[in-house]
Structure 1
Amino acid sequence: MNTTAVHNQRSIKLIANDMRGFSLVELLVAMGVFLIVTGAAFSLFNQHAKLVTRQQNLSGVNIGLRNAMSQLEMDLSGAGQNFLSGVVNAQPFGLGVIIQNNVPGVAPACAPNPATWADPVPISCFDSFPIVNPKPCVTAGGTTTPVLVVNENANGNNQASVAVSNSSILWADDPNNPGNVAAFANDTTCFKSGDELLVVSLASNPQPQCIPGNAASAFTYCMSFVVLTKDAGVTGNGIQLQHNPTGAATDPLGLFATTVGGNNFNKANGLNYPFPNGSYIIDLGTGGNDITYAVQNSPTNANDPQLLRCLGVTCTAANSTVLTDQVIGFKIGAALWDNAAQGATEIANYFYNSANYCSDAVNNADCTKVPPPANDPNDFNLIRAIRISMIGRTTPRSDISVSNFQNSFDNGPYWVQQASVAVDLRNMSSDDLGNAN
């Protein structure tokens, strides 16, 4: 009996020794290691979460810029054709764009406000431009571009070289069905009172008197703008277009005006000079077919400059669509043809100020020198291609300040992304026409 008791007691002691727990030192060490590992894990997670958020924000900015660029490129490629309105026939040439190069003001006028990181007044710090499109004409034959040609021989006038003058009557013909009086009624359907007409004489059929002193230029052509005062009608064997007699000073749509230096695109526009037969007459309507791109602050958030695509020559709440938000850079440069050279010579540089759109810019001529007219500034006829550069930013956040982050572009507490696109235009220069570009 005694032997058994001693054996059981020894077993109990052995079991007790095997179940001994951690000492206080061991417990503290274990807890320290656990806290270090956990802290490192949370730190890594926090940094990764910020990186993911940053990448998501930058991806959003990039997607917005790329989508806007795609829309821009599509509109620019079809400038003057209005394909988006369902036009099925392309006119002989594109009308191109009129660039408003707003030269940025001196900082801090065009710099973000460090107090709120609000953006500058868009009209003074961003470029804008309307894409000129003709009025789509819906007839029994489909949606077409309303284009006629000058025909001053109508009704026995015999004035082949005296087309548009200071008179208020312009005679026209159907370029696709010359002399087909039966088709004239359909041709006049869309030429309505109040529409602005562009009358243009091309280099292949020049109007030498239009730009005195520049008749030898490779790009001699001229344009005038008139406004119909009466719906078009058929008289005898011609289409009669009754317009205002002072069209040289009238451009109600403001399509071809520039505020840079007080110059106007209509510098070569004059009804005093005759347009030859065959000159084109294009109905631009009342401006609702043009597409204008501009940057304006969001009406609900002054810290959100938005790129707008507007149907018309000015942007309003009713006609604008927001393409992308947080745009802090929107500049447009133009590659030009050298109008002073005999033959078409493309200038390699892009010019970001329309005052430098002159015929001899390639030779660094004084583009503001008048005379000679060959060096007149703001000559949008010379635009061969344009390059659009955009800079977007992530939304400024209250939890990010310049004390913990500044970008290298404007030192703001946000990340920035850049995108650009270059587009060749189907312009009215003779080289484009000769090569059917």
Structure 2
Amino acid sequence: MVITRFLGCVLAAAALTSCSAPDPIIETHYGAYEGEAYPDRRPKIEVPEGGMGVVTDSRSDTISLISLATGERFGVLPVGRDPVTIDGPHHAAIDAQGNALYIALSYPLLAGTVGPHASHGESAVAGYVQKLALDDMRVLGQVRVEPNPGDISISEDGRRVVVSHYDIKRALDNPGNLEAQRSSLAVIDPEQISGSAEPVFIPVCIAAHGIALSRPDGARAYVACYGEDSLAIVDLTDPDAEVVLVPIGPSPGRLDPSYGPYAAVMSPDQKTIAVSNTESKDVRFFDVESGAFADPHSIVTLLGAPYFVAWTPDSGRLYVPTQGPDAIALIDVAGGNAELAYRDLSGECDKPHIANFDGGDGLFVVCEGDQTRTPGRVLQLDPETLETVSDTEVGLYPDAFVRVAAEAP
């Protein structure tokens, strides 16, 4: 009896459903989407009056934006290719006319490394160069380079981007084979960086780092060769041309340098290149016209290891940051290399790495910090007295400082 009643209810329900009117079909037509599939929602960067400095924070995967007028950090933006891995934004170059920032990503060897620059040069991971838009730092293009990119520079006319490779691992992995030990310069066409074109690689020397380019076209590169105690002269117009290596001094070392040339900075008048030697703790001056280093009496000997110097616009004076002790010195190059001012920065600036000067009040020094735990700092100093004007905390292991001018009113 229960089964019969249940079947009857089911049949009745089916009959009612079959007799009811079907739901109306509603069609909705939309116009074609005319917007971007993946719109850029990055906020636009407002360059403050007086311009801004861009600082790469290597172990934070960020860039810090610094007001050149006040020294304050007014923005922090993420950079890199991988949201998880440390990409190591290292040195940077500005193309003001092209409204682009170029950053070399140098993937660090993090495990078990200690001391200043201990992991720099020991990675096996290929680096990259990214081209970023200055208005919001979106990626415009990128190109793969070799492991351990060091310095990066762009020609004054904006037609060449040049990257060195401080590849110590390459040298150690190829004992007895000098050619295999030597790292390359990567020469990049800025117009092709977002396409399929690859850099031109020119073998240069062991552990190449600091780059100075001839102006305006960057046809010639002067490269500090840490692992061969030399300054390399490279013809960038002919990749097959012989690279000239000029020894820093007598009895240059190989792999175990006596001088350790790390940075090369050309004077504004293009006559002289200041080469900072971290092992011999001195700055030596290369005469561009003669193709030789100046008289040994012109050597500036320092207490600590010098890094990236800053010239005054008249090419007459030089600001030299040093590590161990942490300090900065003002040298009168035009007046026989006399020391005009000296400031011990111990306790205020851990590992001064780069000095940057525009000829006005804007003398800035980037302080690396301990690289992995304590944020670095950017100091603004008085150009004459070297006293601190401003002191700003940035990210972990800051490693570059480049300037962006404010837009004309």
TM-score computed with the length of structure 1 as normaliser: 0.23
Flag the structure with higher helix content.
1
Q: Which has the higher contact order (CA 8 A, sep 6+)?
A: 1
Q: Which has the larger radius of gyration?
A: 1
**TM-score normalised by L of structure 2:** 0.25
